[in-house]
Chains A and B, each alone.
Chain A
Amino acid sequence: MAVSGVALLLFVVAHMVGNLKVFLGPESMDGYGRWLRSIGSALLGNEGVLWVLRIGLVVMIVLHMTAAIQLARRARAARPESYRARRPVQGSYAARTMRWGGVIIVLFVVYHLLDLTVGVLNPHGVHGEIYRNVTADFQLWYVTLAYTVAVLALGLHIRHGIWSALQTLGVSSARVVQTAALGFAVFICVGYLSVPFAVFFGLVR
């Protein structure tokens, strides 16, 4: 759980850096897309390295979900009879919403791939014109809303995930790690939300 989570988090950070290129204009954004496809093309051909990374990501997602399902099944077996009265949260809200939050994120990733990778759900949907695709998306209020909900779910997931992963890997200073995880989650949320909101409010056209 922790190790696959850390790998996925590294992807999330790299993805965010790429997103922010939208503020540098269409050339920077589309050029970044071309560069991504061309990494290592001398060795593995165009998109070769990209596919290696994509397969690695899918493997990590499968491992992450497998571990989550195992934990959920153990939890259900450990409490066959539930409480009649239960005050839900004494600890952290983010921790309590990890499982359903994860489901929301997976569903979003499917939509996101169809929207901006495959392009079939994108209002512009022209391959390689990343900047135009993105700006076409976030002029629509419901697309912006969907992305906002997903990013906030991701933020909650990361807020508990970072600290829980570090605790699993043996770091034992809960308060410091929890504060750092919260800061990082806010950083990720702001980074990801800046793009849809900038487009929606007309700062990026």
Chain B
Amino acid sequence: MRLTLRIWRQSTKDDGRLVDYRLDDVSEDMSFLEVLDVLNEELILAGDEPVAFDHDCREGICGMCGMMINGVAHGPERATTACQLHMRHFADGATITVEPWRAKPFPVVRDLVVDRSALDRIIEAGGYISAPTGSAPDAHAVAVPKPDADTAFESAACIGCGACVAACPNGSGMLFTAAKITHLGVLPQGQPERDSRVLDMVRAHDDLGFGGCTNTGECTAVCPKGVPLDSIGRLNRDLLRASLRPRR
């Protein structure tokens, strides 16, 4: 395959711009990140600066990779991370535009790499349970109904890649926040801190400069793990309930 990659190049000093790169021998079995690897080898041999991008497991489970590919977070395939996206989904001779996630809380570090630690700040605000450590309890010590376990797991599948924020027309991180609220909120272990969790996480989310959710559904459409929009309804229900109750 012959491809033109139109990639966002930005160092810490400049404002960034799109630069075109021609690749003449791309296999359709390559993943998107492998194409970037090939490009970077050529750039390094030519003495140019390689394109910086985040990646780690390349198995679609770590949440490190992520970029806007032709204007869609993680590219055109549903429920697929950029590392699991294969070139057979693109036409020969295509021009592919690649940009970093764009949001105020996600400053560009370099090229396609953004700083997503704002998501960690949201988790720190309440995305955990407080439990004494020690030896692991027996798996059946606390009974969890299967439907609850399934709902929790759907949301626990979130890998924190930030695609929901990148795709949201409002720059909102509500799907990410709601995934953690749902994951812990439907399990017995999450009950003691259920009220404070939702209040603190939503406040942290808003304070970090994320936008407000208007339920457009762009987030769940690009989520590589298919975290459902229902989770945002759950977050709102918990938020309403916690707001109406006296804070403990």
Contacts and interface: CB of A to CB of B under 8 A. Distances in A.
B171 interface: yes
Interface stretch (A34-42, A146-154, A163-171, A196-204): A163-171
3 closest cross-chain pairs (CB), A and B: A78-B171, A170-B237, A172-B233
B240 A91 contact: no
Chain B interface SS verdict (over half): mixed
Interface stretch (B25-33, B64-72, B84-92): B64-72
Interface in A86-100: 86-87, 89-92, 95-96, 98
A9 interface: no
Contact of A78 (B210, B234, B238): B210
B170 to A, nearest CB: 4
A79 B237 CA distance: 27
Interface residues of A, number: 34
23 contacts: A71-B214, A74-B170, A74-B211, A78-B103, A78-B170, A78-B172, A78-B211, A79-B102, A83-B68, A85-B70, A85-B97, A91-B221, A96-B169, A98-B214, A168-B215, A170-B233, A170-B234, A170-B236, A170-B238, A172-B231, A172-B233, A172-B236, A174-B217
Interface of A: 70-71, 74-75, 77-87, 89-92, 95-96, 98, 160, 163-164, 166-174
Interface in B141-183: 167, 169-172
Interface string B69-81: 0111000000000
Interface string B207-241: 00111101111111110000011111110111111
